[in-house]
Structure 1
Amino acid sequence: MQAIRSRDTAPERLVRSLLHAQGLRYRVAARPLPNLRRTADLVFRPAKVAVFIDGCYWHGCPEHYVAPKTNPGYWSDKVARNMARDRDTDQRLEEAGWTVLRFWEHEASAECAAQIAVEVMKRRAQAALADRKKE
């Protein structure tokens, strides 16, 4: 278990590289909400966008998840708890006004980065418009 990376996986690094090349800056493996003990893979704080790049096995990908043959009760329960925690995290962040973007590790990194960039730019534009209305 200690060999399994919780951050800096190859798909995460590739998406981060593509976003950085577009001039976007973000926090890595950060808590979107200080009182929520969960970290997102990428956090765009001012835009309130949290990005998760989920592993197919650990988060129960509908396309690629294969139930374990060794100790199936424990591992299947663990994956089910991970999925429930993911849904809870999404709900809490959305209630706090955040946009949550989730991608599977098998999705094309360029497409993920493009979707993230569009959402961050959209949220930044909305925030700028709201600031102008306040003035």
Structure 2
Amino acid sequence: MAEAFKFELVSPERLLVSEQVESVVIPGAEGEMTVMAQHAPVMTTIKPGVVTLKTVGGKEERYVVFGGFADILPSGCTLLAESAVAVGDIDRADLARRIQEAREDAADAKDDETRSKAEQFLSQLTTLEAALLSA
């Protein structure tokens, strides 16, 4: 059995998770990363994606996050999400609305840098949508 550590998932609205877990997979800006007890200290930004945690009891829980950052220490991990919701509670209409807004932002961009950021966010959202549809 893997060593447990404290994991917290916080959104501006509420604390979604605060419990001992064996592992957490987070969608870091540079790619997915698995966090376990005694992980080296790291702080990373989070891209839109799915956070998967394995509880001490062996149960797997999944949450959709829309950006934020994670503070990882040997003793625990805190993920501060811009927005977060349990996968089972995801509002597909809200996701479709976010994708449409990202498309409009990319089309309305006034310069290449803004357009590139909007297109990258749109790509992340459509990847998330595809992952949720196949789940």
TM-score under structure 1 normalisation?
A: 0.32
Structure with greater contact order relative to length (CA < 8 Å, sep ≥ 6): 1
Larger radius of gyration, structure 1 or 2? 1
TM-score under structure 2 normalisation?
A: 0.32
Choose between structure 1 and 2: higher strand proportion. Answer: 2
Choose between structure 1 and 2: higher helix proportion. Answer: 1
